[in-house]
Structure 1
Amino acid sequence: MTETKNTNKKAIKIAVSNQKGGVGKTTTVLNIGAALALQNRKVLLVDCDPQHHLSNWLDFSPDGKPTTSDIIFSTVTNQTIDFDNCIRHNEEENIDFIPSINVLAGMLGIIAADNNSSNVISRIFDNEYFNKNYDYIIFDCQTALDLLVTNVLKACDKLLIPVQADILSYEGVEQMTDTFMRVKNDTDIRKYLIGMLVTMYQTNTKHSATIFNELKESYGDLVFNTYISYRTEAKNSVGFRRSSVSDHKSVVGAQYIEVSHKIMEVCENV
């Protein structure tokens, strides 16, 4: 493992979440992870979605080693966890990840039965193993704001909200920020919010520009100046099982690299 690069010498935990589906959460997790890895940051991606799109994208196949659900179960039942055995590495993107499988959907009852049910994910990722080995831990959350997602939100230092350039996605932003503040028991969202990232922006429509401008008017500098374009290349990257960032000719990849610079600025004060 490489030494951490962030000045706090503590893994920065980021939740990528929005209660509306289809806004590009998984695409954002993968591409930001890949972009940060390009900046020599050690990155761990954690798939917390039972549909495991991120794991599929990273070309994961069941290998008999622990997944997200196994780690949760072991934590709740007070079993020792060998974290090295839980980590997979993707050579293409140069990032580590913890995969998910369908069984994760059944973990809600396990988490709810825990005496400290709101802090299960916190207990896992507060382990010094992660601070020692990673600069960033990025969580891909499912759409539902259930107990697993609120666990992730509570565990994370920062929140990034992908917002599709669409009115329904825009209207869900306030609900997402309200949920996060309730979980954190804090009304100062600026301490936690890296930003709102407009995704699937169509440059040939007034609608995308209108949503982007309205977000800027409502939330100001909490909205990234960089937006993520709606381009066929982003969809194709899923089929090729690679990030847009890994293609140096990709417009979307270049946009995500710009976003990664802003993330480092916010999280590392660089």
Structure 2
Amino acid sequence: MGRIIAIANQKGGVGKTTTCISLGVGLARKKKRVLLIDFDPQGNSTQSLGYNPDMLEVTVSDVLDRVIEKDYTIANDYGIIHSQEGIDILPANIELATMEMKLLAVYIGREKILDKYIQMISDNYDYILLDCKPSLDIITLNALTAADSVLIPVQAQFYSVKGLEQLLNTINQVVTGGLNTRLTIEGILLTLANPQTNNFKEIKKVVEGAYGQHINVYHTHIPRAVTAEEAPASGKSIYLYDGTGKVAAAYEQFTQEFIKEA
């Protein structure tokens, strides 16, 4: 059974999707079988890997619909795209936004719809990465209920760090409330960093001081770079778009650290 990791932060613009794709491709480059589930109605992971969300016949919404209808005859490759970068992706589009109302209408087990699907296909992968939307609702709760652990990208700035507490409280409620007692925190990854500044050094010190005793704070940090902002529009990961740049090097180092600590 593959490890299921939710990449989550309720704050947008922290490099969540870039981290999800870069870790996925980094793991695939190390011969791991990886599925990325785009679980954000904006479809950012889908677009960032070169696919038009509005042109796809099957997305994660269709998969969830079939599970809600108790159709468990879903083929292992139903809706899954085999990308040129070595990872599989279950795409998303704006239809996922309407899924919240459908999930809320499920009387029993609304938080476990995604989990039921993942249990059907998890043996096909070493890692399943869930790119969560930047909010804490029933969609994200489905991801947290299905996951083994949560990877938290945090932009190296004061307000991003301050917002960590809400996500950590939600994770704690998922565990203590019995929705997913196996859920742990994979670690905190500092992103969009400028390591030469005093601000970054102070933020790093605050994060390690506040959380480092109980939560893994990765030694690797991801620097800010124009190429990382340009890569999604090109439909390529940072490895294809700027493979010799500092962001690709940082994600390669992070992937090695991630595997070593797994």
TM-score by length of 2: 0.91
Where 2:171 maps in the other structure, the secondary structure is helix
Where 1:85 maps in the other structure, the secondary structure is coil
Contact preservation (8 Å) 1:65, 1:85: no
Paired residue for 2:114? 121
Where 2:5 maps in the other structure, the secondary structure is strand
Where 2:238 maps in the other structure, the secondary structure is coil
Paired residue for 2:153? 162
Structure 1 residues 190 and 174 mapped into 2: Cα distance closer, same or farther (>3 Å)? farther
> How large is the Cα RMSD of the aligned pairs?
1.9
Determine which of 34, 58, 83 is the counterpart of 2:49. Answer: 58
Q: Which amino acid aligns with 1:224?
A: Y
Q: Distance in 1 between matches of 2:88 and 2:64?
A: 18
Determine which of 10, 13, 23 is the counterpart of 2:14. Answer: 23
Asked if 1:233 corresponds to 2:240, the answer is no
Contact preservation (8 Å) 1:42, 1:135: yes
> By how many angstroms is 1:63 displaced?
5.1
Report how many aligned residue pairs link the two structures: 254
Structure 1 residues 72 and 217 mapped into 2: Cα distance closer, same or farther (>3 Å)? same
Q: Distance in 2 between matches of 1:190 and 1:44?
A: 21
Q: Distance in 1 between matches of 2:243 and 2:49?
A: 19
Structure 1 residues 146 and 154 mapped into 2: Cα distance closer, same or farther (>3 Å)? same
Q: Deviations over 1:69-99 (max 9, x none)?
A: 10111100112322313110111x2110000
Q: Which runs of 5+ in 1 are unaligned?
A: 1-9
Q: Deviations over 1:6-25 (max 9, x none)?
A: xxxx1100000011111111
Asked if 1:182 corresponds to 2:173, the answer is yes
Structure 1 residues 262 and 191 mapped into 2: Cα distance closer, same or farther (>3 Å)? farther
Structure 1 residues 26 and 217 mapped into 2: Cα distance closer, same or farther (>3 Å)? same
Q: Which runs of 5+ in 2 are unaligned?
A: none
Where 1:83 maps in the other structure, the secondary structure is coil
> By how many angstroms is 1:178 displaced?
1.3
Paired residue for 2:138? 147
> By how many angstroms is 1:37 displaced?
0.7
Higher mean C-alpha deviation, range 22-31 or range 235-244: 235-244
Paired residue for 2:194? 202
Q: Distance in 2 between matches of 1:226 and 1:245?
A: 17
Asked if 1:222 corresponds to 2:216, the answer is yes
> By how many angstroms is 1:184 displaced?
2.0
Paired residue for 2:98? 106
> By how many angstroms is 1:190 displaced?
10
Q: Deviations over 1:122-141 (max 9, x none)?
A: 111011x321x110000111
TM-score by length of 1: 0.89
Contact preservation (8 Å) 1:69, 1:107: yes
Where 2:224 maps in the other structure, the secondary structure is coil
Q: Distance in 1 between matches of 2:192 and 2:143?
A: 25
